[in-house]
Structure 1
Amino acid sequence: MVNLLYFMIIMITMFLGEWVSKKTHSWIPSIFITAIIFLIGFWTIFPKDLITKASYTKDFITITIGLLLVHLGTLMNIKKLIQQWKAVCIAILGMLGTLIFTLTIGLAFFGHDLVISTIPTLTGGLVAAALMTQGIEKEGLLTLVAYPVAMFVCHHIISFPMISACLRNEGSRLKAVFRKDPDTAKAMVAEDTSSSSTNNWQHYFSLGEKYDTPAFIIAKVAAIAVFSFWVGNLLNGVINSNVLCLVFGVIAHAIGFLPSNALNKAGVFNWLMYGLLTFILAELNATTPSTIGKILLQVLVLIALGLSGMFLASVLLAKPFGMSRSMAFACALTALCGFPADYILTNDVVNSLTNDSDEQQFLLDNMLPKMLVGGFATVSIASVLIASFFLNML
């Protein structure tokens, strides 16, 4: 019964975060509320081993990360990536701006440990935070474990309102364009080619719709993860196994071995994401008010530096890539959140700007593909590479 009790506490904490986020239309991130509850709980009444007693062990998290990275590969649509190449370029170059500012000014003022352990999380969100906390623990650097967690919580508080503001500005501009000449505005929207995602090989990997069960989908995702780790071991870690999970996930999806959005179709995506988030926030049990106080200002300064580099890069690239400054900065900011936050924020903004279904569709057709592809390129691809590289620098 104790295990169930602790599991219930964790799920209630997750729900409270989501409830506040929905009530405030994502202006207050769910992760912020959840993290605050965990933090206060660990400082007061939560047992330090709350997470493991709720069955979220390190072995479970290893499985979770592998499956989720393969799953991220099934969200990739190569045609859409090609179609939205400008958004990809701005998002990636925005990350580069962040890295330049933080690895120069940041390193000069805050030293190696803080910068190296936090910057991947600033440019990669949840997945990068998970990889960094796991890697730091393996290296035995327990004094650094709180750093990526603090960065993860803080940058969500700042990035969500900024993304919403950028999208509101762009949405208002697009709404004026649509109202001036609806027919011309509709013609400006590029044809969405993502619907043609089937391929000729897909039927070779299916036993028929009757047998395409959640267990079969999860088994195939696990097979790709196992293969990725096996190849990673063969290469003696030259290419990180987590990177290979993502790469082989993209390939498996492209050839039809895995369906799009695989783990959601299997009904386990949210379960695994909650487990991953719980594992990350569990690292707060090693903190005290004094340790958080010592690094909070430094983390906030690093976020300011990173966002400054990101803003400068996106503003300089906006005109050459045919985007407004607001849209370009929003694309770059997807590096801080990724899917599904970019999807939720875009829809929330569109729904708040207009109730007209034609206008809503026009706004979504213009903004959502850029946000999704920018997030996939940064959080799903680049962040894994950056986190893997930075782990070697610890």
Structure 2
Amino acid sequence: MEVTLTPIMCLFVVVVFMSIGDIVSMKTKAFVPSVFVAAVLFLAGYWGGWLPKDIVDRAQMGAPIATVSMYLLITHMGTMMSVRELCREWKTVVIAVAGLAGMALLLWYVGPLFTDRNAIVTGTPPLSGGVVAAIIMSKAAGDLGMKDMAVMAMLIYIVQGFVGYPLTALCLKSEGKRLLKLRAEGRAETARSDVDAATGSGFHLVPLKYQTTYTHIACVALVASLADLSSIGLKSFLAYLNPEWVRYSLHPLVICLIFGAIAAEFGIVERRPMNKAGAMGYLITILMVFIMGMLNSATPEMLPQLVRPIVVVVVVGVVGLLVASCIVGAVLGYTLPMAMALSLTALYGFPPNYVLTDEASKALAGGDEDTYNFLMSHMLPKMLTGGFITVTITSVILAGIYSTLLVPPAAM
């Protein structure tokens, strides 16, 4: 008797694959990225014929719910932008932005010498950020009929951790040893530990006693809706001025990020609202599973053709990232290891930036809690800020811009 997979069965299968990825990542202390393991399982299933290619759609985690989830997630990420914390860590912000600028510029001018321009445009945002940037670029490429580029965006997001994790671990251990030497010599400064302080006006659109799962989601959806309306209005205005200018309009998700930050400052929406609503984990699950579903268009014949552009994007991009961050870091008084570590957060973001800092501090502390707290207080604020600037903010902005720069093969 042939068994037809029901939606809940499909959901079970895809979540088990994601769980296996997490377990392998934890067992290897994040050396093997969880998304890589999950991608291998999905590709094996797709290519082996024992996994339906529409399993993600069957699990009700396809484009409709993934699109809504992105709007909610990006607005949520905007609420995490604390002006006070960004001002306190302004040097970190400058170094992180400089690193991404170096990455983008080197890829733009040097990358095309080794591979196709569309590959550079597709690969830059995912390399500079996380899941949302990868989805934006993959969708933009897919809409133009470039299935290979759509798959490439996903693959760069999946493999970049292999470069970022070991390099960051080496940088943090080097910086940690330097800090311990300074402390032994009595020359270490006291660092603040309140890295997640919130700011705001003190006003709450919904009084605290009435805040529930529904009100948190409603407030986020309100802000995202206003951002969407603004995006539509901006496109109409640009079309009125000049139809050719429409392609340069801000991506709706970029506006969601901006509106989320503004709304949180004025109390229209709370800080980290989706966490408070208990919905953050499910949103992330939807997006991660959606990415795996987008790999169903990958074929065994396609992957060898993508090796070269992926290698070019990763190698050239990381070189530009490190060179620029080191130069600006040296000017601002940061050590080279610290400048490189915080810029490398672009390759993985949160929570790996926390995990890597935690593991480096524990290894150097040797079980001494005071030493561990000392190292974390000096390195963690920079690493969290670096990841926030690169993955949360800049990558989404880059994706919004670069998604308009893709050129269909027929037009080239």
TM-score w.r.t. the length of structure 1 is 0.94
Matching of residue 153 in structure 1 with residue 167 in structure 2:
no
**71-80 vs 316-325, greater mean Cα deviation:** 316-325
Q: Report how far residue 391 of structure 1 moved.
A: 0.8
Question: Any conservation in 2 of the 1:117–1:390 contact (CA below 8 Å)?
Answer: yes
Q: Which residue of 1 aligns with 2:206?
A: 206
The C-alpha deviation readout for 1:285-330, integer Å capped at 9, x for no partner, is 1112221111113211221111111111122222221111110001
- Give the Cα–Cα distance (whole angstroms) in 1 for the partners of residues 357 and 335 of structure 2: 16
Q: Report how far residue 3 of structure 1 moved.
A: 1.2
Q: How does 1:311-390 map to 2 (within 5 A)?
A: 311-354=322-365, 355-390=367-402
Q: How does 1:157-168 map to 2 (within 5 A)?
A: 157-168=162-173
Q: Which residue of 2 aligns with 1:296?
A: 307
Q: Report how far residue 214 of structure 1 moved.
A: 1.1
Q: How does 1:95-244 map to 2 (within 5 A)?
A: 95-181=100-186, 185=188, 187-190=189-192, 192=194, 195=197, 197-202=199-204, 205-209=205-209, 211-236=210-235, 238-244=249-255
Q: Report how far residue 172 of structure 1 moved.
A: 2.1
Give the counterpart letter for 1:378 in structure 2. Answer: T
- For these two proteins, the number of residue pairs brought into alignment is 388
Q: Report how far residue 196 of structure 1 moved.
A: 5.5
Question: Any conservation in 2 of the 1:70–1:248 contact (CA below 8 Å)?
Answer: yes
Which ranges of 4 or more aligned residues in structure 1 deviate by more than 4 Å? 190-194
- Give the Cα–Cα distance (whole angstroms) in 2 for the partners of residues 193 and 21 of structure 1: 26
Matching of residue 391 in structure 1 with residue 403 in structure 2:
yes
Please state whether the residue corresponding to 1:200 is helix, strand or coil: coil
Q: Which residue of 2 aligns with 1:270?
A: 281
Question: Any conservation in 1 of the 2:85–2:197 contact (CA below 8 Å)?
Answer: no
Question: Any conservation in 2 of the 1:133–1:280 contact (CA below 8 Å)?
Answer: no
Aligned CA RMSD, in angstroms, stands at: 1.7
Percentage identity across aligned positions?
31
The C-alpha deviation readout for 1:93-149, integer Å capped at 9, x for no partner, is 111111122111211221222111111111122121011122223333334211101
- Give the Cα–Cα distance (whole angstroms) in 2 for the partners of residues 60 and 81 of structure 1: 32
- Give the Cα–Cα distance (whole angstroms) in 2 for the partners of residues 39 and 167 of structure 1: 34
Question: Any conservation in 2 of the 1:228–1:248 contact (CA below 8 Å)?
Answer: yes
Q: Report how far residue 283 of structure 1 moved.
A: 1.8
Question: Any conservation in 2 of the 1:342–1:375 contact (CA below 8 Å)?
Answer: yes
Q: Report how far residue 199 of structure 1 moved.
A: 2.9
Matching of residue 7 in structure 1 with residue 11 in structure 2:
yes
- Give the Cα–Cα distance (whole angstroms) in 2 for the partners of residues 25 and 255 of structure 1: 40
Q: Report how far residue 55 of structure 1 moved.
A: 0.5
Q: Which residue of 1 aligns with 2:32?
A: 28
**77-86 vs 23-32, greater mean Cα deviation:** 23-32
- Give the Cα–Cα distance (whole angstroms) in 1 for the partners of residues 58 and 102 of structure 2: 42
Change (3 A) 1:286 1:196: closer
Q: Which runs of 5+ in 2 are unaligned?
A: 236-245, 407-412
Q: Report how far residue 175 of structure 1 moved.
A: 2.4
**171-180 vs 152-161, greater mean Cα deviation:** 171-180
Q: Which runs of 5+ in 1 are unaligned?
A: none
- Give the Cα–Cα distance (whole angstroms) in 2 for the partners of residues 193 and 360 of structure 1: 16
Question: Any conservation in 1 of the 2:114–2:312 contact (CA below 8 Å)?
Answer: no
Change (3 A) 1:195 1:117: closer
- Give the Cα–Cα distance (whole angstroms) in 2 for the partners of residues 264 and 316 of structure 1: 37
Q: Report how far residue 190 of structure 1 moved.
A: 4.6
- Give the Cα–Cα distance (whole angstroms) in 1 for the partners of residues 360 and 46 of structure 2: 35
Question: Any conservation in 1 of the 2:250–2:401 contact (CA below 8 Å)?
Answer: no
Please state whether the residue corresponding to 1:372 is helix, strand or coil: helix
The C-alpha deviation readout for 1:30-50, integer Å capped at 9, x for no partner, is 111111111111111211101
Q: Report how far residue 198 of structure 1 moved.
A: 4.8
Matching of residue 16 in structure 1 with residue 20 in structure 2:
yes
**124-133 vs 169-178, greater mean Cα deviation:** 169-178
